[in-house]
Amino acid sequence: MIGIDEAGRGPVIGPMVIAGVQLDKDSEAKLKALGVRDSKRIAPKKREVLAKEIRKLAKKVEVVVVTAKQIDELMQLMTLNQIELNAMVKIMNEIGDVDIFLDLPSNGPGFMRELRSKLKVMDANVVAEHKADDKYVVVGAASIIAKTTRDRLVREIEEKHGTLGSGYPADERTVNFLKKYLKEHGDLPDFVRHSWSTTQKLLGKKKQKGLFEYKK
């Protein structure tokens, strides 16, 4: 069976990571006993430990990283759901299994129709549900791989640029980082999603301020 989940749909900073994990029944039982479930319900240190166990026990692990810059470019052509769908399909076709479980990012039946139309395994049994990462061990495993991968990539950014906060638009630390960076550099870096409304508002204010100063 394959489990697929993502981390980082909503943040204004950093990549979105989609992970796929293939397990057999024995490894699924072992990971269940270790407490594998939705990564959001597991402490960061334990997530890292479980991620290592998942990689040891899984038959295959596939990860797709979509950078902030790639998200900006792709969102000129498609929605975030479609970006995620394409990454999921890539993983499914790489691993190639008939039992697929995924955390559903959209209510629309159109999402599943498009996903099935792109699958190479035409007779695949696809179970797509909201909160599947808390319901199925295999999806919880994918959730942990996606989350720990994204966390590592965000830490690499912080090593160069300082504390980013959670990366979410509602986090005051994140917004303060963006404001400070914009003030110091005049623009925002590639690891920030320029297509997010938070970013566009900040860039819009910067542009308006520049025009006002020029008129004076």
Contact 50, 144 (CB under 8 A): yes
Residues of the chain with CATH 1.10.10.460: 161-215
Q: For 91, which DSSP code?
A: H
Mean pLDDT for the stretch of residues 28-38: 94
User: pLDDT at position 79, please?
Assistant: 92
CA dihedral 142, 148, 152, 157 (to 10 degrees): 80
User: pLDDT at position 124, please?
Assistant: 84
pLDDT digits (tens, 9 = 90+) for 63-102: 999 999 999 999 999 999 999 999 999 999 999 877 999 9
User: pLDDT at position 216, please?
Assistant: 39
User: pLDDT at position 42, please?
Assistant: 93
pLDDT digits (tens, 9 = 90+) for 156-211: 999 999 999 999 999 999 999 999 999 999 999 999 999 999 999 998 876 545 43
User: pLDDT at position 112, please?
Assistant: 85
2-158: CATH class: alpha beta
- pLDDT confidence tier of residue 38, bands split at 50, 70 and 90: confident
User: pLDDT at position 213, please?
Assistant: 42
161-215: CATH class: mainly alpha
User: Could you tell me the pTM of the whole model?
Assistant: 0.91
> How many other CB atoms are found less than 10 A from the CB of residue 131?
11
User: Across the strands, what pairs with 129?
Assistant: 103
User: pLDDT at position 107, please?
Assistant: 63
Task: Report the alpha-carbon distance of residue 128 to residue 102 in Å, rounded.
Answer: 5
Residues of the chain with CATH 3.30.420.10: 2-158
Amino acid identity for residue 203 in this structure: L
Tell me the residue length of the chain: 216
Alpha helix ranges (H) inside 58-136: 68-74, 80-95, 109-118, 132-135
| Buried-state track 80-90, b at ≥16 Cβ within 10 A, e below 16 | bebbbbbbbbe
Does the pLDDT value for residue 109 go beyond 80? no
Task: Report the alpha-carbon distance of residue 7 to residue 66 in Å, rounded.
Answer: 11
